Chains A and B, each alone.
Chain A
Amino acid sequence: MQRSGLTGSRIRERRMQIGLRQSALARTVGISASYLNLIEHNKRRIAGKLLIAIGRELNIDPNLLSDGAEGTLVEALREAASGLAERAEDLARPEDFAGRFPGWAGLLAAQHHRIVALEHTAEALTDRLTHDPQLAASMHEVLSVVTAIRSTAAILAEPGEIDADWQKRFHRNLYEDSRRLAESSQALVEYLDTASDGGSEGGLTLPQEELESWLERSDYHIAELEGNGGADVNGVLAVLERQRVSSAALVLAASYLSRYAADAKAMPLAAFQFAMTEIGQDPAVLATRFGCDLAAVFRRLASLPRRAGAARIGLVECDSSGTLTVRKPVEGFSLPRFGAACPLWPLYQALGRPMTPIRMRVAQAGRNPTIYLAYAISQPATRPNFDLPQMFHATMLILPEDVAGRDDSQPVLPIGSSCRICPRADCAARREPSILTDGF
């Protein structure tokens, strides 16, 4: 069934609404009643002049009869149906459903979107609950104090004599613990408030998150550091300081901005964008053109101003321990907030093979996985020294396929976000059970 099948149902609905007989409409627009019947039952496609004529007779904009407005709805229904493979046959004709019951179809699509949004929220909260050291410590503190209070209060409340000295001691303990409980509960609530606001001013957000929150506001493009007027890193830092970010976040920002300014100087915005139109966006070709290393080109590609409607480009970086030091998220590619990421990421493969460029098509596990083209490279982060371990820094560029171009000749590597929230059952790289399959 073609998507335009929906148009037939709408024609029928509109015709019946205005009380026009099928044969009368068919005659007016110059087709047989049986052909119109096929159209109305979505057995024949309709477009062009005939659609315009029918629209005119039904006194309705032909665009409203066509499937343009419903395309999104039908797509949403398809997406919702894709999660139920065992009922694939029953759910194979979303156009018919949307055509016959547009209200119910709209409700179903809206609820599907809501479910997907809630799933993402649940994943993020689960990630926080299982990996956030601040939250784990707060919860442990609260539960420990509650345990002490419960045991002590029970001793005092139970029948039987208690020595006066013990009684005094337990009363003092109760008082101390109740104060501790008030303080630890308040700290926990403040922390959760800060987290739910997504704010960076509460003092309980990690410095890296403060920086990321600030970068997010400009979509990771810092206009003040572009152009020929000379990059004013200190000026940008002063702006950040006025926004009362923490001193630790300022240290991270200084390093990030200096590197940004150096990249912008080596690959000026206008020249870089021109080169992309001239020689394409292959990072290796661009690196050769500008005489820069691959990691710098990855960063530059991820910091370009985004055209309206264009897909976002993601970027992650890690140090030698595998800790993510830069996280520019991209829709459909989940980045863990705490703890380690999926070991299958090309980022980590690059870390294990320094100076070897890696390019792979990847897709994260999920209801409707999106395919990305990932480029990764690991480069020395410290100068060679016989007395110190060599440090490396890995960088991975994440390009949605509508930016990178689709290449079905290459296989797609299934990956995850982090083991805790990854549903893949048989994964050789798994290091801990998933709460999605094993529960909390």
Chain B
Amino acid sequence: MGKRVLLIEDEPNIIEAIRFVLSRAGYAVDTHSDGSTALDAIRVKSPDMVILDVMLPNRSGFDILRDLRACEGTALLPVLMLTARGQKKDREMAERYGASRYMTKPFSNAEMVSSVADLLGG
């Protein structure tokens, strides 16, 4: 069984594509689509890393990231942030809140696989 990745994203077809490319690369991919229950999903599934969209229904990805970093058990969990907004402000916020890496939509599949591999130590 490969390392476990939890993808928190609300676009069904993005979820499907990412799940496919990461599974093909040998990772076990779980998904979750709602911002308000994302923290619970992370606790329950206990993934090796999280791919977190910024604009989620009901709760912003930045708020979720901030809570993750404030909790001892998830403070060091690798988090790859995804957003459709490439603004400087968002990049700064992602860094300030402790994102391990930041990726702007649209991204390539190769970029996604390579980032996940880097964050999970190859």
Q: Report if A and B associate in a common complex.
A: yes
Residues on A close to B: CB < 8 A? Answer: 139-140, 143-148, 150-152, 154-155, 158, 166, 169-170, 173, 176-177, 432-433, 438-440
Closest chain A residue to B10, Cβ basis: A144
16 contacts between A and B (CB under 8 A): A139-B84, A139-B85, A143-B106, A144-B11, A144-B84, A147-B84, A152-B16, A158-B109, A166-B20, A169-B16, A170-B16, A173-B13, A176-B13, A432-B89, A433-B89, A438-B88
Interface residues of B in 29-86 (CB under 8 A from A): 55, 84-85
Closest chain B residue to A166, Cβ basis: B20
Report A189 CB to chain B, min CB distance, Å. 18
The answer to whether B17 touches A151 (Cβ under 8 A) is yes
The answer to whether A155 touches B14 (Cβ under 8 A) is no
Decide if B18 is an interface residue (CB 8 Å cutoff). Answer: yes
Closest chain B residue to A151, Cβ basis: B17
The answer to whether B105 touches A144 (Cβ under 8 A) is yes
Residues on B close to A: CB < 8 A? Answer: 11, 13-14, 16-18, 20-21, 55, 84-85, 87-89, 105-109, 112
Q: A154 vs B13: C-alpha distance in the bound complex, in angstroms?
A: 13
The answer to whether B109 touches A147 (Cβ under 8 A) is no
Report A173 CB to chain B, min CB distance, Å. 5
The answer to whether B85 touches A140 (Cβ under 8 A) is yes
The answer to whether B16 touches A146 (Cβ under 8 A) is no
* Chain B residues within 8 Å of A152, by CB: 13, 16-17
The answer to whether B16 touches A173 (Cβ under 8 A) is yes
The answer to whether B106 touches A150 (Cβ under 8 A) is yes
The answer to whether A154 touches B108 (Cβ under 8 A) is yes
The answer to whether A148 touches B88 (Cβ under 8 A) is no
Report B92 CB to chain A, min CB distance, Å. 9
Q: A173 vs B14: C-alpha distance in the bound complex, in angstroms?
A: 10
Closest chain A residue to B21, Cβ basis: A155
**Contacts A155-B20, A170-B20 supplied; 20 other A-B pairs, CB < 8 Å:** A143-B106, A144-B14, A144-B105, A147-B14, A148-B11, A148-B17, A150-B106, A151-B17, A151-B21, A151-B106, A151-B108, A151-B109, A158-B109, A166-B20, A170-B17, A173-B16, A432-B89, A438-B88, A440-B87, A440-B89
Given contacts A155-B20, A166-B20, A173-B16, contact A147 B88 (CB under 8 A): no
* Chain A residues within 8 Å of B107, by CB: 147, 150-151
Report A159 CB to chain B, min CB distance, Å. 12
* Chain B residues within 8 Å of A169, by CB: 16
Report B26 CB to chain A, min CB distance, Å. 14
Q: A292 vs B103: C-alpha distance in the bound complex, in angstroms?
A: 59
Closest chain A residue to B104, Cβ basis: A143
